Amino acid sequence: MSQRLTVDDARQSLNAHVAAKGAEIHAQYGPVIGWDQLLRILEDRELVRYPCEIVFDAGPLREGEFAHPTPKGDRPETGFTIHVHPRFAAQRQRVPYLVLYQLVVVNYGEFASSDDAETFGAMALGISKDEYYHALCELVRDNPGLILCGECPHDGGD
């Protein structure tokens, strides 16, 4: 008799997979992931499933969003544009924190959760998940009007 996988099993499996991919990024492109390393990561199809470009444009972002990937076409193979709030254009050393969070959606679609994004980003940067979350909160705090998740004690959204 075969055992059926639950949604929770699938979520745990995905989280383990994103952790492993994040660790691969850290091993190949770390220990410090800056702007130049981020651009090379985006070209690596073993780690980023679909082509991506970064554009500093708030137009497609929802109110309060710091970044978001949008598909370039009907099929993911056509690639994604990762829109990053223009406030970060002059802070390129901070952009990897924002973009790594978005890459989980690029790689795994809407099934990926914020927990998966935090796991992936933390592993890629070689820091703890709490450190990564607090770094994102700091980015939000330093940019009034942006929000992380509505739960972050530093959200600048209100």
Q: How confident is the model at residue 146 (pLDDT cuts 50, 70, 90)?
A: confident
Range in 5-9, 49-53, 149-153 the model is least confident about? 149-153
pLDDT tens digits, one per residue of 95-130: 999 999 999 999 999 889 999 999 999 999 999 999
From CA 124, how far away is CA 24, in angstroms rounded? Answer: 7
**pLDDT number for residue 145:** 83
**pLDDT number for residue 141:** 85
pLDDT tens digits, one per residue of 19-70: 999 999 999 999 999 999 999 999 999 999 999 999 999 999 998 899 999 9
**pLDDT number for residue 87:** 93
Has residue 154 got a pLDDT over 60? no
CB 120 within 8 A of CB 21: yes
Query: Model pTM?
Result: 0.89
CB 68 within 8 A of CB 53: no
From CA 88, how far away is CA 44, in angstroms rounded? Answer: 23
User: Residue ranges per domain, the chain?
Assistant: 7-141
The secondary element (H helix, E strand) that includes residue 86 is: none
